[in-house]
Amino acid sequence: MREFDFDALHEQLLECGIRPDCARRAASEMRDHFDDLVDERTAGGAPEDVARRDAAAALGTVEHLVASMSGRRELKTWIYRYPLAAILFYPLACLVAIPATPVIAGIANAPVLARWSMSLVAAGVLTATLLLTLQLLILFG
């Protein structure tokens, strides 16, 4: 079991606004670095649990790593780097995306929509035929 929580590192980096690819890469590199430190210490004759504890101490805490990475602006998503642009862009994007979504879904599912439409037309014609037949039977029957 690892003493250092790499999943928590990844989640906290995402919460601080670090881009997902950078957060994933940082957690992966820290995991690799941790494993290298453990291998180095066990090769030196240290027991596994002591090597893991020493490696975790060498890496530091998750909070320290998150604090050092969250201070780097180039690692942040554009929303965190340009909050005013995000305030303007998101409503405009929603204004375009909300009406476009059914159109895109309709284009993507055109064969299914065509089958449903034909089924509805067939059901309407059948129902109208039955009602007309019943009406004619009532009138002339």
* Residue 42 and residue 48 in contact, taking contact as beta carbons nearer than 8 Å: yes
- The structure's pTM equals 0.60
Instruction: Report pLDDT digits (tens) over 31-58.
Output: 999 999 999 999 988 898 888 888 888 8
The phi, psi pair for 72, rounded to 5°, reads -95, 110
pLDDT band with cut points at 50, 70 and 90 for residue 1: very low
- In this structure, how many other beta carbons lie within 10 angstroms of the beta carbon of residue 11? 15
The phi, psi pair for 19, rounded to 5°, reads -60, 145
At residue 76, the 3 state secondary structure works out as strand
* Residue 27 and residue 10 in contact, taking contact as beta carbons nearer than 8 Å: yes
